[in-house]
Amino acid sequence: MVQSYLRHGPTQAFGLVCSASSNAGFDGKLAYVPALEDVLVWDVKKGEMRAMWHETGHRAEVTCILRSPQPDYFAVGYADGSVRLWSSSSQSVVTVFNGHKKSVTALAFDERGTRLASGSQDTDLIVWDIVAEAGLYRLRGHRDQITSIKFLSTDESQPSSSTTAAAGLLLTSSKDTFLKLWDLTTHHCIQTVVAHRSEVWSLDVNPDQDLIFSGSGEGEVKAWRIDKKSLREGLSETESGEIVKIIHPITNLPLGSHHRVSQISFHPTQPYIAFQSHEKSIEIFRVRTEEEIKKKMARRKRRAKEKKQEKGDKAQAADNMEVDQDEDVEVPFIDKFTPHVVIRASGKVRSFNFAPESSGPKNAAQLFIALSNNALEVYNIPQPTKTKEDPLEATQSHSVHLPGHRADVRSLCLSSDDRILASAANGSLKIWNMKTTGCIRTMDCPNPVCSTFLPGDRHVAVGTKSGEILIYDVSSSSLIDTIKAHSSTVWSLHVRKDGKALVSGSADKDVKFWEFEEKEGTEEISGRLLTLVHSRTLKMADDVLSVRYSPDSRFLAVALLDSTVKVFYQDTLKFYLSLYGHKLPVLSMDISDDSKLIVTCSADKNVKIWGLDFGDCHKSIFAHEDSVMQVAFEKGSHYFWTVGKDKFLKYWDGDKFEGIQKLEGHHGEIWALALSHFGNFVVTGSHDKSIRVWEKLDEPLFLEEEREQELERLYESGIADSMNREDAAIGSGAAGEESGAAGTETEVSAVTKQTAETLMAGEKIMEALELADKERETFREYEEAMSKLSETDAMRLQPPPRNPVLAAYDLEPEAYVLRVVERVQSTALHDALLVLPFSKVVSLMAYLNIWAEKEWNIPLLSRILFFLLKTHNNQIAANRVMRTILIPLRKNLRGALQRQKEIIGYNLAALQFIKNKNDVERTAQFYEEEGWDEEKVKARIAEGKKRKRVVLTA
């Protein structure tokens, strides 16, 4: 009989405030921050999580977050190159855009939020149509990762040179030291600027769109002017035949430090600009008003005058002339900006955002900072003052830091009833409620290495790097005892099964045994308190890395730095067994509940299973791709769990020596592992600062099936990867797919990327076409045979049975094909159509003709038709069979489109009529109320409309 196991699945990740993989967003109240593969929404004032945007099964890390001008939508870029559009109200994915091969590094919306531009580590820039949910085109030109993107709008009062409604320009910066300006009507780069000597890391455009600041890897900030006139006119030549440049250099801006300028940001409404060039601080400059600049210039002139007078009155007249000429001198650009305040955060800054509205005290601007160490902070920027006595200081108004550790989670332990979890990281020990996953206690804890709950679950013992054992009282969240146990790092603590003794192992080569003693509570802490009393010491020849009592309390196992494990009798401490075979030190071990097996894991990536009766090695398993950090047996069985530096958690059968399940989810090395005392779940803690719970499900798991699914996944990803190869032509004639022999890439190409989903969608369409063709052929043959016979002929037969699938859905063949095609995601449709061989394309064309005749889903039909004609242009032109399909298709489609055009035209006219009627009624109302003349009223109405529009786009 085939043995079945129970499957484990991830339930939740907690302990994360924000991860350092991406930037964050802030709207004045809520912060939208990355949390590895999820996005968290925090209320920064209350310090509570409002929502978690999680897509089941998607594990790639978030690398970029951007809010759309339509406030409900957010574009989120991921490390696998996909961009997902999330709706914040429904907390669900609206659409997925797949086009990049590497992680997405920059995103930008146009001002209406209808187009999205994404830049990636693969150096490509892709423009997406949000409404049609499709990729418009891919722009190539940069030679390194794109670091930021900005849409520039050409002046709307001018008629656009293009026939399309969505014109405009795109400004991009990259690590290849260039700024590039792209024309979105011709899809080409119209200006390339060598911006800096080193990588361009950041860029921002002011709200008026006439000034650019760019920051480099060497701490240099440059200002650039956008020539609005040439921006409106587009590409033109000067008299000398040179092409007019749109971006012109102005000057450098001096910053306080010379580190990488990782972010530049203009305040959307107030005259501030912020630069981050130091790890922990953000410099904020203020844009001076006209009045201040005039005063500064006047002061400068006065000083110059005084200096000249000091020199003597020899050339008095000449001086006067000079000063008079100075009246119309242009203000130096640098003088328009003045350093305002420096904000020093409590940790390394990952990204910052200005709050869009001034919601701070006295209308002060607010700056939101996401830190690399898993915390968020909000600062109020002080208003400029007239006096110069005391320097301005920014004040911290809110912070979110309690629900997570500042450093890697190094140790985890569960209480005996599995209701409370203690996690230790450098600087803090946190107690979590396992039911709500909320943090209920936080205590200071320097350099913890190992931890365990003491009997009674009221106290936690923590072994530290300095050799102390710290005892904390959970209920009062206080440190009640510090025991100087060892002279070097305490690597391991273990409580005996009977709960009467504790053993500690340290790098000072000692194994010490401790007994528990109760003492009376103090005034601050009521109840009985536990403390440790040293009873005996076992001296070893080498550093002790792990100690373990056997559950039957007969043996004590000690792992040493010399890669061996020594087993002693627990009561007499007589030597019993030595287990040797690992090539590198054993980092952790565990003994099964029946005390028959001991499993050891080592830095040599192996796990060894030994019998405790003779010390024989049953099996050595190559378990992980990197050091195996911890191992633990499941309660009451020979199944065990291991975690490693390769980010995986693995489940093994200790009797059959087989891997049962491999669970991935962490984005950093897994340091800590804790198992439920009832075998219900597993908890892991990692370098990515998250704590994850993996629960046992009721779903059975069969090893053969698992292996097959794993191979299938590998095969599918292999096909997708081979189809996405740069040197292979996808399809036959789509733009930019067939690179030239010399490997020269075209500047613009189609947006295609095959994934397992698009391959599946393509196969589904093929299956539907085959099924429908077969059904139509069967009925055509039947009708032909019947047409030859007379009505009364005895040979007349019953019609053949319908295909069971079509009968179940009660659909005609052509309606079934449409149903299948409609269910393909809009973003994956083009890639799915590329999977079809040409014979299936001919077959699909026949169905397009039927749909056009019946006027079914004309927008989808048109989109498929134009894509197929563009892709298979050469074959269609050369194939005479296609004429019989294309001629009726043209007639039917033109008729259908004409009717749709007429309906839309009629509706537009009706809407225009309703609008005019409304305007007339409002005008009449004003007449009655104000007694004005008609011109005044019209001006007032127009003003109202303008104001409304501004509010909408803010």
pLDDT of residue 944: 62
Condensed to tens digits (0 to 9), the pLDDT of residues 134-171 reads 899 999 999 999 999 999 987 654 443 433 445 789 99
The separation between CA 354 and the C-alpha centre of its own chain, rounded to angstroms, equals 20
pLDDT per position as a tens digit, 8-27 = 999 888 999 999 999 999 99
Tell the residue number behind the tokens 């060598």, with chain if given.
194
Of residues 669 and 383, the one with the higher pLDDT is 669
More confident residue, 719 or 467: 467
SS3 848: helix
Structural contact between residues 635 and 604, judged by C-beta atoms closer than 8 angstroms: no
Cβ-Cβ contacts under 8 Å for 817 (sequence gap 6 or more): 765, 768, 769, 772, 844, 847
Sheet holding 247-253, edge to edge: 200-205, 211-216, 221-226, 247-253
Quickly state the pLDDT bin for 731 (edges 50, 70, 90): very low
Contact 106, 148 (CB under 8 A): yes
- Torsion over CA: 285, 290, 295, 298 (sign): positive
Collapsing DSSP to helix, strand or coil, 953 comes out as helix
Q: Is the pLDDT of residue 739 over 60?
A: no
Strand partners, 650: 642, 662
Q: Which single residue is written with the structure tokens 């904020």? A: 284
Provide the pLDDT confidence category of residue 875 given band limits of 50, 70 and 90.
Answer: confident
- Model confidence band, residue 254 (pLDDT cutoffs 50, 70, 90): confident
Mean pLDDT check: name the lowest of 96-100, 236-240, 542-546, 595-599.
Answer: 236-240
629 touches 615 (CB < 8 A): no
Is residue 557 within 8 A of residue 548, CB to CB? The reply is yes
Number of other residues whose CB lies within 10 A of the CB of residue 363: 10
pLDDT over threshold 80, residue 555: yes
Give the chain's length: 954
The single-letter DSSP state of residue 561 is T
* Sequence-separated contacts (24+) of 456-462 with Cβ below 8 Å: 456/530, 457/415, 457/416, 457/417, 457/420, 458/527, 458/530, 459/529, 459/530, 460/413, 460/422, 460/429, 460/431, 461/493, 461/502, 461/532, 462/411, 462/424, 462/429
Q: Tokens 């990488």 identify what position?
A: 260
- Using an 8 Å Cβ cutoff, are 428 and 405 in contact? yes
- Predicted confidence at residue 389, as pLDDT, reads 62
Residue ranges of alpha helices (H) inside 516-652 are none
Mean pLDDT score, 291-306: 86
Q: Which two tokens mark 676?
A: 């439920």
Span 642-671, average pLDDT: 94
* Structure confidence by residue, pLDDT tens digits, 412-434: 999 999 999 999 999 999 999 99
What percent of the chain has a predicted confidence (pLDDT) above 70?
Answer: 90
- The whole-number pLDDT of residue 313 equals 61
Is there a contact between 600 and 607 (Cβ–Cβ < 8 Å)? yes
| Identity of residue 809 | Y
pLDDT score of 715: 86
- Residue whose structure tokens are 């690590």: 175
Per-residue H/E/C for 763-792: HHHHHHHHHHHHHHHHHHHHHHHHHCCCCC
